[in-house]
Amino acid sequence: MTSPAPDGPRHVAIIMDGNGRWARERGLPRLRGHEAGAESISAALRACRDLGIRYLTLYAFSVENWVRPKAEVAGLMALLRRFLRAREEELHANRTRLRAIGRLDDLPAPARGELQRVMDSTAHFTDRHLVLALSYGGRAEIADAARRIAERVKAGALDPAAVDEAAVAANLYAPDIPDPDLMIRTSGEVRLSNFLLWQLSYAEFHFTPTLWPDFREADLAAAVAEYRRRHRRFGDIG
């Protein structure tokens, strides 16, 4: 097992942006860009292993992405299934647990079934964690948490006066996963796009012009090196 570096980060979250632009620049269909981007996930996993990063969360498909053309959505769901089958052995070899967050019931049954199968087959690993955000939205997650809290209050299981930040955090999709220390967005865009709005409150941000299909181990290592040069104060004067 690789030990986490004493200066972190423990958890890296990535907005994988630029697949469509990468394909367009090469005169290729958008789905080819997504296929190329899938290779970058393996590179990111290798970099996390080498750098001692235990948690990697990837923004794979947002709740807003359902409005894309049906053919593209179907292609993305098929790509998800192929990715899971192709990388399952790699996950086992690296003792990596697959997790997923989001409104997973929205996924078509074949993709949801393959996802659940690989999550089950890797559930016993604790060394590293790959978290896929699928049919995910930060606002949707907070709304879902609020709904669960409201149900508990209505049932008399929770006093409204006890609803605090800890109560909200406990009702998020994966409350046992630590908040990201570092958020990376590729392709030069500098916005959150509804990603982990609660969890990124104190994360450091790194924006790179590199398109996701071109993102490799050296790019993640550069982002981590920059992170380690920063001084995180968490509200203190530091």
CATH code at 11-229: 3.40.1180.10
* pLDDT of 16 above 70: yes
**pLDDT classification of 235: cutoffs 50, 70, 90:** low
Q: Which SS3 state, helix, strand or coil, does residue 184 take? A: strand
Question: Across 67-190, where does the E strand assignment appear?
Answer: 96-101, 128-136, 182-185
Tell me whether residue 65 is one of the annotated catalytic residues: yes
Choosing from 7, 17, 106, 120, which is the catalytic residue?
Answer: 17
Predicted TM-score (pTM) of the model is 0.93
pLDDT greater at residue 23 or residue 234: 23
Predicted local distance difference test score (pLDDT) of residue 1: 41
Per-residue model confidence as pLDDT tens digits over 101-150: 999 999 999 999 999 999 999 999 999 999 999 999 999 999 999 999 99
Per-residue model confidence as pLDDT tens digits over 151-199: 999 999 999 999 999 999 999 999 999 999 999 999 999 999 999 999 9
Chain-centroid distance, C-alpha 50 = 19
* pLDDT of 2 above 70: no
Tell me whether residue 194 is one of the annotated catalytic residues: no
**pLDDT classification of 8: cutoffs 50, 70, 90:** confident
Per-residue model confidence as pLDDT tens digits over 64-78: 999 999 999 999 999
* pLDDT of 224 above 90: yes
Predicted local distance difference test score (pLDDT) of residue 236: 59
Choosing from 7, 65, 106, 120, which is the catalytic residue?
Answer: 65
For 133-142, give one letter per residue: b (16+ CB within 10 A) or e: bbbbbbebbe
Per-residue model confidence as pLDDT tens digits over 196-215: 999 999 999 999 999 999 99
Question: What are the CA-CA distances from residue 8 to residues 3, 44, 53, 236 (Å)?
Answer: 10, 16, 7, 19
Residue corresponding to tokens 């994988």: 16
Please say whether the beta carbons of 37 and 212 come within 8 A. yes
